Amino acid sequence: MDIAALIPQFGGLIYMIVAFVLALSVIVAVHEYGHYIVGRWSGIHAEVFSLGFGPVLWSRDDKHGTRWQIALLPFGGYVKFLGDANAASGKDEGTMADLEQDPAALRRTMHGAPLWARAATVAAGPVFNFALSILVFASIFMARGVATDPLTIGELKTLPNTVQELQIGDEIQAINGKTLPKFDDADGWTDYVDSLEAQKQLEFTVNRDGQTQTVTGPWLFPPLVQQVAPRSAAMDIELASGDLITAVDGQDIFAFEQLKEAVEGSDGRVLLLSVWRDGEMLEFALAPRRTDEPQPEGGFVTHWRVGIVGGMMLVPATEAGGVGMALTDGVVQTGKIIQGSLSGLWHMVTGAISTCNISGPIGIAETSGAMASQGAQSFIWFIAVLSTAIGMLNLFPIPALDGGHLVFYAYEAVTGKPPSDTVLRFLMAIGITMILSLMVFSLGNDLFC
């Protein structure tokens, strides 16, 4: 066995695990802190705040009497409130019986607090997950800025064997004689690009240093790899951001749409790609995969895909956007993730798309490593996406999850009394069984899909 050959693979595995643990730890810490801080504000005492499970590696007690700890197994966490028997907030019968005669102490327990305090404390975990996502998305949108109007070139991508007379700072007024719409008009911009005839070279009318000029430049959307999707065919063969695909099966291409048509028409057949990378020509064999894609109007469509995200041959110059706009876009982005996830689950239940779309811990770990390898911004974006998914999952009305507790509280609000302890224990057992079954199922997907 060649031990040296295994070192890069081992290093990649460590990198993937570290990225996964880091992403999960941030999300879990925010989720559990939501429970903790709202519980404290509501008068409920937290005995333990644990990041991870199992043997304790580090701990300290704060002035409020809460023990903060980091445990060996970093795959979750919990807050144990006074009166809880376990991390799932089951009732500690002995402690509750001891506190029966002390109303003030009973009020500080999770099970003796008013209904509003318990509901707020439980709901705070998912709410904090959504808040994290919104703030991360908003921060990234602010960092990216807003494209200037008129569209101004901030950066030009490197494209070999093309005539490039455009310059940084040029304000683009028209392409092939057609006046540009506002760049932030998504529908208008899409219709405009669709109206252009695909050509290797275009005529750009630009304002350069106060003068109008007509210059030649490449097609707006070349077959340039801007991003590689995690766990995709493109990532498996190590295509990278900045790669330019110049030919498919020996046929020269200049537009991303040509690459897309070749992939969609492949029926899964292996494609031979000629790729320009940093001045060197490389050859790759790439097999497209069937992928279920969400549609803007709802539903899913199955296409052959390789996992490449394209982009324009230029990067627009930007200006700082407002905080309000960034936060609004953050809320919208979070809502889109929730809507897409729920739509995906529904279509899996009805059999419209494959259940292989559910990823387990291995799949999430692979995605964590892949996104981390593409840069800090991609990794932070992934954390926000995963935070939204975990917040949404915790709101499902399954006993042992936050959503299940909220259903119990809703029952109590309507009937005036909580479900009996016997019923709660039975439902909790069912809930834990459902969660474990889902984990086993998703792990099976990771291994066999």
Give me the chain's average pLDDT, please.
90
* Mean pLDDT computed over 187-192: 88
In this prediction, residue 183 carries a pLDDT of 81
Q: What's the confidence (pLDDT) of residue 10?
A: 47
Q: Which of 168, 191, 187, 169 is nearest to 178 (CA)?
A: 191
Q: How confident is the model at residue 37 (pLDDT cuts 50, 70, 90)?
A: very high
For the ranges 172-176, 184-188, 301-305, 437-441, the one whose mean pLDDT is highest = 172-176
pLDDT of residue 70: 95
Q: Tell me phi and psi for residue 283, to 5 degrees.
A: -120, 135
Report the pLDDT averaged over residues 227-235.
90
Q: What is the mean pLDDT of residues 96-105?
A: 85
Give the span between the Cα atoms of 31 and 13, in whole angstroms: 27
Q: Give pLDDT, residue 11.
A: 54
Once rounded to an integer, what is the mean pLDDT over residues 253-276?
A: 94
Quick one: what percent of the chain has pLDDT higher than 70? 96
The answer on pLDDT for 434 being more than 50 is yes
Residue 230 has pLDDT above 80, yes or no: yes
- Find the mean pLDDT for residues 81-90: 82
DSSP at 102: -
Read off the pLDDT of residues 43-53 as tens digits, 9 standing for 90 and up: 999 999 999 99
pLDDT tens figures, 343-362: 888 888 888 788 888 888 88
What is the H or E stretch that residue 211 is in? strand 211-218
Q: 331 or 231: which carries more pLDDT confidence?
A: 331
User: For residue 343, what pLDDT is reported?
Assistant: 87
CB under 8 A, 24+ apart: contacts of 325-329: 325/141, 325/146, 326/138, 326/139, 326/141, 326/142, 327/134, 327/138, 329/137, 329/138, 329/141
Looking at residue 81, its pLDDT comes to: 94
What pLDDT is stored for residue 370 in this prediction? 87
| Higher local confidence (pLDDT), 406 or 101 | 406
Q: How many CB atoms lie within 10 A of CB 119?
A: 19
Confidence of residue 154 (pLDDT cuts 50, 70, 90): very high
The pLDDT assigned to 82 comes to 92
Is pLDDT larger for residue 408 or for residue 295? 408
pLDDT band at 394 (very low <50, low <70, confident <90, very high): very high
Average pLDDT score over residue span 198-213 = 93
| Residue 440, Cβ density class (10 Å: 0-12 exposed, 13-18 middle, ≥19 buried) | exposed
pLDDT band at 20 (very low <50, low <70, confident <90, very high): very high
